[in-house]
Structure 1
Amino acid sequence: MQALVIDDSRAVRLLVGNILREQGFDVVAAGHGQEGLERLQENPEIQLVLVDWNMPVMNGLEFIQAVRKVRAWDEVRLVMVTTETESEQVQRAINAGANEYVMKPFTAEVLVAKLSLLGAFED
Protein backbone atom coordinates (compact mmCIF):
# COMPACT_ATOMS: atom_id res chain seq x y z
CA MET A 1 0.00 0.00 0.00
CA GLN A 2 1.14 3.53 -0.67
CA ALA A 3 1.11 6.27 1.97
CA LEU A 4 1.61 10.03 1.75
CA VAL A 5 3.34 11.98 4.53
CA ILE A 6 2.73 15.75 4.54
CA ASP A 7 4.72 17.88 6.96
CA ASP A 8 6.74 21.06 6.57
CA SER A 9 9.48 19.52 8.74
CA ARG A 10 11.85 17.36 6.71
CA ALA A 11 12.86 15.55 9.91
CA VAL A 12 9.25 14.61 10.68
CA ARG A 13 8.68 13.47 7.08
CA LEU A 14 11.72 11.20 7.37
CA LEU A 15 10.72 9.87 10.81
CA VAL A 16 7.12 9.10 9.86
CA GLY A 17 8.20 7.78 6.46
CA ASN A 18 10.66 5.37 8.07
CA ILE A 19 8.00 4.09 10.50
CA LEU A 20 5.63 3.50 7.58
CA ARG A 21 8.30 1.80 5.47
CA GLU A 22 9.01 -0.58 8.38
CA GLN A 23 5.31 -1.50 8.21
CA GLY A 24 5.54 -2.28 4.50
CA PHE A 25 4.27 0.98 2.99
CA ASP A 26 5.67 2.71 -0.07
CA VAL A 27 5.98 6.35 1.01
CA VAL A 28 5.51 9.59 -0.92
CA ALA A 29 6.23 12.90 0.85
CA ALA A 30 5.12 16.53 0.57
CA GLY A 31 6.11 19.71 2.42
CA HIS A 32 2.66 21.34 2.60
CA GLY A 33 -0.99 20.65 1.80
CA GLN A 34 -0.98 22.01 -1.75
CA GLU A 35 1.96 19.80 -2.63
CA GLY A 36 0.11 16.95 -0.90
CA LEU A 37 -2.89 17.42 -3.20
CA GLU A 38 -0.54 17.29 -6.19
CA ARG A 39 1.01 14.03 -4.88
CA LEU A 40 -2.48 12.52 -4.44
CA GLN A 41 -3.37 13.42 -8.02
CA GLU A 42 -0.09 11.93 -9.30
CA ASN A 43 -0.41 8.73 -7.23
CA PRO A 44 -3.99 7.40 -7.33
CA GLU A 45 -2.89 4.29 -5.40
CA ILE A 46 -2.31 6.29 -2.20
CA GLN A 47 -4.67 4.92 0.46
CA LEU A 48 -3.28 6.56 3.61
CA VAL A 49 -2.27 10.17 4.32
CA LEU A 50 -0.59 11.41 7.48
CA VAL A 51 -0.78 15.20 7.53
CA ASP A 52 0.50 17.90 9.88
CA TRP A 53 -1.86 20.74 10.85
CA ASN A 54 0.45 23.77 10.92
CA MET A 55 2.15 24.26 7.56
CA PRO A 56 2.67 27.09 5.06
CA VAL A 57 0.78 27.42 1.75
CA MET A 58 -2.04 25.03 2.75
CA ASN A 59 -2.43 23.72 6.30
CA GLY A 60 -3.54 20.22 7.24
CA LEU A 61 -7.13 21.14 8.01
CA GLU A 62 -7.49 22.83 4.61
CA PHE A 63 -5.91 19.77 2.99
CA ILE A 64 -8.40 17.41 4.66
CA GLN A 65 -11.31 19.63 3.63
CA ALA A 66 -10.05 19.69 0.03
CA VAL A 67 -9.59 15.89 -0.09
CA ARG A 68 -13.06 15.23 1.29
CA LYS A 69 -14.59 17.30 -1.54
CA VAL A 70 -13.24 14.84 -4.14
CA ARG A 71 -15.38 11.73 -4.47
CA ALA A 72 -12.50 9.67 -5.93
CA TRP A 73 -10.66 10.10 -2.62
CA ASP A 74 -13.54 9.00 -0.37
CA GLU A 75 -11.69 5.81 0.64
CA VAL A 76 -8.38 7.53 1.45
CA ARG A 77 -7.69 7.29 5.18
CA LEU A 78 -6.61 10.64 6.64
CA VAL A 79 -4.63 10.91 9.87
CA MET A 80 -3.86 14.31 11.41
CA VAL A 81 -0.42 14.18 13.06
CA THR A 82 0.10 17.42 14.97
CA THR A 83 1.07 19.32 18.10
CA GLU A 84 -2.50 20.69 18.26
CA THR A 85 -3.76 18.92 21.39
CA GLU A 86 -6.88 20.89 22.35
CA SER A 87 -10.06 18.82 22.16
CA GLU A 88 -11.70 21.52 20.00
CA GLN A 89 -8.93 21.11 17.41
CA VAL A 90 -9.29 17.32 17.46
CA GLN A 91 -13.03 17.71 16.88
CA ARG A 92 -12.47 20.20 14.04
CA ALA A 93 -10.17 17.74 12.28
CA ILE A 94 -12.58 14.82 12.73
CA ASN A 95 -15.52 16.96 11.56
CA ALA A 96 -13.51 17.98 8.48
CA GLY A 97 -13.01 14.33 7.57
CA ALA A 98 -9.92 13.06 9.39
CA ASN A 99 -10.21 9.38 10.28
CA GLU A 100 -7.71 9.53 13.16
CA TYR A 101 -5.65 12.00 15.16
CA VAL A 102 -2.11 11.51 16.51
CA MET A 103 -0.55 14.07 18.82
CA LYS A 104 3.13 14.97 18.58
CA PRO A 105 5.40 13.88 20.08
CA PHE A 106 4.54 10.23 19.50
CA THR A 107 6.35 6.90 19.42
CA ALA A 108 6.45 4.46 16.53
CA GLU A 109 4.30 2.13 18.64
CA VAL A 110 1.60 4.77 19.11
CA LEU A 111 1.52 5.55 15.39
CA VAL A 112 1.35 1.87 14.42
CA ALA A 113 -1.42 1.28 17.00
CA LYS A 114 -3.48 4.15 15.58
CA LEU A 115 -3.02 2.85 12.04
CA SER A 116 -4.06 -0.62 13.20
CA LEU A 117 -7.25 0.82 14.73
CA LEU A 118 -7.87 2.48 11.39
CA GLY A 119 -7.50 -0.82 9.54
CA ALA A 120 -4.54 0.45 7.55
CA PHE A 121 -2.90 -3.01 7.43
CA GLU A 122 -5.92 -4.92 6.13
CA ASP A 123 -5.47 -4.18 2.42
Structure 2
Amino acid sequence: MVDDDDAMRELVCSALEAEGYDVDAADHGGAALERLREAEQPDLVLLDLEMPVMDGWQLIDEMRAMDSCNAIPVLVMSGSTPAEAPAGFPFIAKPASVSGLLAAVHRATRGPRRRKRRALYRSTHSS
Protein backbone atom coordinates (compact mmCIF):
# COMPACT_ATOMS: atom_id res chain seq x y z
CA MET A 1 0.00 0.00 0.00
CA VAL A 2 1.61 3.24 -1.15
CA ASP A 3 -0.06 6.48 -0.06
CA ASP A 4 1.19 9.68 1.55
CA ASP A 5 -2.04 10.08 3.56
CA ASP A 6 -1.33 8.46 6.94
CA ALA A 7 -5.01 7.94 7.81
CA MET A 8 -5.81 6.36 4.43
CA ARG A 9 -2.76 4.11 4.61
CA GLU A 10 -3.71 2.94 8.11
CA LEU A 11 -7.34 2.33 7.13
CA VAL A 12 -6.46 0.35 4.02
CA CYS A 13 -3.74 -1.67 5.75
CA SER A 14 -6.05 -2.52 8.65
CA ALA A 15 -8.85 -3.61 6.30
CA LEU A 16 -6.52 -5.81 4.25
CA GLU A 17 -4.86 -7.34 7.31
CA ALA A 18 -8.31 -8.16 8.74
CA GLU A 19 -8.92 -10.13 5.52
CA GLY A 20 -5.71 -12.11 6.01
CA TYR A 21 -3.40 -10.20 3.68
CA ASP A 22 0.21 -9.50 4.64
CA VAL A 23 0.58 -5.78 3.99
CA ASP A 24 3.65 -3.61 3.63
CA ALA A 25 3.17 0.16 3.45
CA ALA A 26 5.13 3.13 2.16
CA ASP A 27 4.39 6.84 2.22
CA HIS A 28 5.76 7.63 -1.25
CA GLY A 29 6.88 5.88 -4.41
CA GLY A 30 10.59 6.11 -3.61
CA ALA A 31 10.15 4.20 -0.35
CA ALA A 32 7.98 1.63 -2.12
CA LEU A 33 10.58 1.16 -4.85
CA GLU A 34 13.29 0.49 -2.25
CA ARG A 35 11.10 -2.18 -0.64
CA LEU A 36 10.39 -3.74 -4.03
CA ARG A 37 14.14 -3.97 -4.69
CA GLU A 38 14.90 -5.51 -1.29
CA ALA A 39 11.98 -7.79 -0.42
CA GLU A 40 10.01 -10.67 -1.85
CA GLN A 41 7.77 -9.41 -4.61
CA PRO A 42 4.17 -8.72 -3.59
CA ASP A 43 1.13 -10.12 -5.37
CA LEU A 44 -0.23 -6.59 -5.81
CA VAL A 45 0.82 -2.95 -5.49
CA LEU A 46 -2.01 -0.67 -4.39
CA LEU A 47 -1.03 2.95 -4.85
CA ASP A 48 -2.07 6.57 -4.90
CA LEU A 49 -1.03 8.70 -7.87
CA GLU A 50 -0.30 12.02 -6.18
CA MET A 51 2.51 11.73 -3.62
CA PRO A 52 5.71 13.63 -2.78
CA VAL A 53 9.23 12.39 -3.57
CA MET A 54 8.06 9.91 -6.23
CA ASP A 55 4.45 9.85 -7.37
CA GLY A 56 2.45 6.84 -8.49
CA TRP A 57 3.08 7.51 -12.18
CA GLN A 58 6.85 7.43 -11.63
CA LEU A 59 6.62 4.30 -9.48
CA ILE A 60 4.69 2.49 -12.21
CA ASP A 61 7.32 3.51 -14.79
CA GLU A 62 10.15 2.30 -12.53
CA MET A 63 8.37 -0.99 -11.83
CA ARG A 64 7.79 -1.66 -15.54
CA ALA A 65 11.50 -1.07 -16.21
CA MET A 66 12.53 -3.73 -13.65
CA ASP A 67 12.44 -7.38 -14.71
CA SER A 68 11.59 -8.43 -11.15
CA CYS A 69 8.60 -6.06 -10.90
CA ASN A 70 7.17 -5.57 -14.37
CA ALA A 71 4.54 -8.31 -13.99
CA ILE A 72 3.26 -7.25 -10.55
CA PRO A 73 -0.37 -6.15 -10.84
CA VAL A 74 -1.04 -2.52 -9.91
CA LEU A 75 -4.29 -1.20 -8.47
CA VAL A 76 -4.59 2.59 -8.53
CA MET A 77 -6.50 4.23 -5.69
CA SER A 78 -6.70 7.98 -6.08
CA GLY A 79 -8.72 11.13 -5.63
CA SER A 80 -7.96 11.88 -9.29
CA THR A 81 -10.59 11.14 -11.87
CA PRO A 82 -10.49 7.75 -13.63
CA ALA A 83 -9.57 9.56 -16.87
CA GLU A 84 -6.31 10.65 -15.19
CA ALA A 85 -5.42 7.10 -14.15
CA PRO A 86 -2.84 5.15 -16.14
CA ALA A 87 -4.44 3.24 -19.01
CA GLY A 88 -4.93 -0.44 -18.36
CA PHE A 89 -4.80 -0.24 -14.58
CA PRO A 90 -7.80 -0.93 -12.35
CA PHE A 91 -8.89 2.27 -10.61
CA ILE A 92 -10.62 2.91 -7.28
CA ALA A 93 -11.81 6.46 -6.58
CA LYS A 94 -11.10 7.93 -3.14
CA PRO A 95 -12.87 7.93 -0.86
CA ALA A 96 -13.68 4.27 -1.42
CA SER A 97 -15.82 1.98 0.65
CA VAL A 98 -13.95 -0.78 2.45
CA SER A 99 -16.12 -3.39 0.71
CA GLY A 100 -15.36 -1.87 -2.71
CA LEU A 101 -11.66 -1.78 -1.95
CA LEU A 102 -11.61 -5.39 -0.75
CA ALA A 103 -13.55 -6.56 -3.81
CA ALA A 104 -11.05 -4.86 -6.14
CA VAL A 105 -8.08 -6.34 -4.25
CA HIS A 106 -9.63 -9.82 -4.32
CA ARG A 107 -10.16 -9.54 -8.10
CA ALA A 108 -6.61 -8.32 -8.66
CA THR A 109 -4.98 -11.08 -6.59
CA ARG A 110 -6.83 -14.14 -7.82
CA GLY A 111 -5.10 -14.47 -11.18
CA PRO A 112 -2.60 -17.13 -12.32
CA ARG A 113 0.38 -15.42 -10.67
CA ARG A 114 -1.33 -15.53 -7.28
CA ARG A 115 -2.29 -19.21 -7.66
CA LYS A 116 1.27 -20.08 -8.66
CA ARG A 117 2.70 -18.30 -5.62
CA ARG A 118 0.24 -20.05 -3.30
CA ALA A 119 1.14 -23.41 -4.83
CA LEU A 120 4.85 -22.67 -4.48
CA TYR A 121 4.34 -21.61 -0.87
CA ARG A 122 2.44 -24.82 -0.09
CA SER A 123 5.06 -27.03 -1.73
CA THR A 124 7.98 -25.39 0.06
CA HIS A 125 6.29 -25.00 3.45
CA SER A 126 4.35 -28.23 3.78
CA SER A 127 5.11 -30.51 6.69
> By the TM > 0.5 criterion, same fold?
yes
Counterpart for residue 110 of structure 1: 100
Q: Deviations over 1:14-37 (max 9, x none)?
A: 011011112211111111001110
Q: Which has the higher strand share?
A: 1
Listed as ranges, the gaps of 5+ residues in structure 1 are none
Counterpart for residue 69 of structure 2: 73
Listed as ranges, the gaps of 5+ residues in structure 2 are 116-127
CA distance in 1, matches of 2:43, 2:79: 23
Displaced runs of 4 or more, over 3 A: 119-123
- The alignment's C-alpha RMSD in Å is 1.7
Give the TM-score normalised by structure 1: 0.83
Q: Deviations over 1:12-67 (max 9, x none)?
A: 11011011112211111111001110111121232211111111011011111110
CA distance in 1, matches of 2:2, 2:30: 10
Total equivalences in the alignment: 113
CA distance in 2, matches of 1:115, 1:51: 12
Larger gyration radius, structure 1 or structure 2:
2
Q: Deviations over 1:61-120 (max 9, x none)?
A: 111111011121133111111000152x12xx125xx3x111100011101111233244
Q: Percent identity?
A: 31
